[in-house]
Structure 1
Amino acid sequence: MNLASATQVKALLAKYGVRPKKRLGQNFLVDRNVLTRILDAADLTAESNVLEIGPGLGIVTVEAAARAGRVVCVELDRSLEPILKEALSGCDNVEVIIQDFLKLDLAGLLEGSGRWTVVANLPYYITTPIITKLIGSKRYFDAMLLMVQREVAARLRAEANNDVYGAISVFVQYHCEIESIMTVSRNVFYPVPEVDSELIMLRVRSSPPVAVSDESLLFSIVRAAFGKRRKTLLNALSSSEELKWDKHEAQVVLGAAGIDAGRRAETLSLAEFAALANAAI
């Protein structure tokens, strides 16, 4: 079975009576060169543990199993289970879990098994929740190799004063170093999606790039600031139900951090958000 062939993938789907589900963002990789780049970037060894999110038809899973010691893949779509069983019939080191990844108990699955590498092709509609969950369990991971839409990749690595800079940019950059591996044409997927993708690597930082006394408070401030990004910081922070600051409290914190209350969230660097959080303690 050649899963890197669009013709054979179509035949395989027809054999099992499965149609790609647009609502789940199902676009299956059918290119051998991109597959090789993914596996090379993952840098797997016989000691590697791999967590794959959204294995689809198993094209990456089969190759990962040949390089890694253990592969656990989590697939939401139960209709793909028989296809995965066929594709992975010779892979004794692969476990397939049919479940919503966002409902999965990661600690229960990964605890006591060493460090893991994540490999995932993330649908646009659920990219942020999945990345947030992964980073929330970052203690288990060395790196996360993610296929995302190009606009998502741009948002993740955006810096202050960029139109696409937002709360997820600050969150990811605080926890991870971001590396672009390659731009991926929409034409290497079946069905062909409407936009191109980008393969990115998130490497978990050993320590954050800025020092904060209260991480929870930092991200409460970030969410409040970007939640009303068209408002000034004074108005955005003082109207946050999460922070529960009045205008005087917000003004005091901004002043203590040396930040103009009339600025907007997209102008603040990660270091300035950290200064705000530390000034609020």
Structure 2
Amino acid sequence: SAYGAVSVFFQYHAQLRHLLEVSRQAFTPVPAVDSSVIMMQPFATPPYLAPDERWLFRLVKSAFAHRRKTLRANLLAAFPQTLTRTMLAEIYTALTLTEHARAQELTLQHFVHLAQALAHLSTGMPAVPQDMNLDEGVC
């Protein structure tokens, strides 16, 4: 799948618009894939504000670290000092994620909410803040 950590990074920072496809035959030497031209228009303010952008992108990078593993397995491996299965179960319930969710199934909004929940955990607060706006569907 083409959706990965870089996709989430760009969605956070810019409005993306696909302009056109470029055939592999347009290049020398001919690559193994076709290309696309996209336009990126930077946001003045991201569509969803993360508590800490560095933390958000560390989380995103960890989530996509092993594409064939579940999001839960990747996060538990990346944050063993911070997360437990019980904590993740609480967060998953609040975000309407299934236990088998994979990183490529999450939207930018899911990642921002996940970062908010983990930021709360790191400060000793409840994992899921009471004011978290969860208007996204099930993953």
Q: Structure 2 length as normaliser, TM-score?
A: 0.69
Give distance in 2, aligned partners of 1:177 and 1:261: 30
Aligned counterpart in structure 1 of residue 38 of structure 2, from 178, 195, 200: 200
The alignment status of 1:170 with 2:8, answered yes or no, reads yes
Task: Assess if the C-alpha contact under 8 Å between 1:186 and 1:193 holds in 2.
Answer: yes
Instruction: Give the match for residue 132 of structure 2.
Output: none
Give aligned-pair identity as a percent.
38
Task: Assess if the C-alpha contact under 8 Å between 1:234 and 1:251 holds in 2.
Answer: no
Q: Cα gap change, 1:242/1:223 in structure 2, threshold over 3 Å: closer, same or farther?
A: farther
Instruction: Give the match for residue 57 of structure 2.
Output: 219
Amino acid at match of 1:247: R
Q: Cα gap change, 1:243/1:192 in structure 2, threshold over 3 Å: closer, same or farther?
A: farther
Instruction: Give the match for residue 277 of structure 1.
Output: 115
> If you compute each CA radius of gyration, which structure gives the higher value, 1 or 2?
1
- Structure with bigger strand share is 1
How many residue pairs match? The answer is: 119
Q: Cα gap change, 1:226/1:243 in structure 2, threshold over 3 Å: closer, same or farther?
A: farther
Q: Can you list the C-alpha shifts for 1:144-172, whole angstroms capped at 9, x where unaligned?
A: xxxxxxxxxxxxxxxxxxx3321111111
Which aligned pairs between 1:67-82 and structure 2 lie closer than 5 A?
A: none
Give distance in 1, aligned partners of 2:85 and 2:49: 26
Q: Can you list the C-alpha shifts for 1:55-77, whole angstroms capped at 9, x where unaligned?
A: xxxxxxxxxxxxxxxxxxxxxxx
The alignment status of 1:251 with 2:89, answered yes or no, reads yes
Residue 256 of structure 1 and its aligned partner are, at CA, apart by 4.5
The alignment status of 1:209 with 2:47, answered yes or no, reads yes
Aligned counterpart in structure 2 of residue 183 of structure 1, from 13, 17, 21: 21
Amino acid at match of 1:197: S
Q: Cα gap change, 1:239/1:193 in structure 2, threshold over 3 Å: closer, same or farther?
A: closer
For residue 271 of structure 1, give the secondary structure of its aligned residue in structure 2. Answer: helix
Larger relative CO (CA 8 A, sep 6+): 1 or 2? 2
Aligned counterpart in structure 2 of residue 263 of structure 1, from 85, 95, 101: 101
For residue 221 of structure 1, give the secondary structure of its aligned residue in structure 2. Answer: helix
Task: Assess if the C-alpha contact under 8 Å between 1:184 and 1:196 holds in 2.
Answer: yes
Q: Cα gap change, 1:180/1:243 in structure 2, threshold over 3 Å: closer, same or farther?
A: farther
Q: Cα gap change, 1:190/1:233 in structure 2, threshold over 3 Å: closer, same or farther?
A: closer
Residue 255 of structure 1 and its aligned partner are, at CA, apart by 4.0
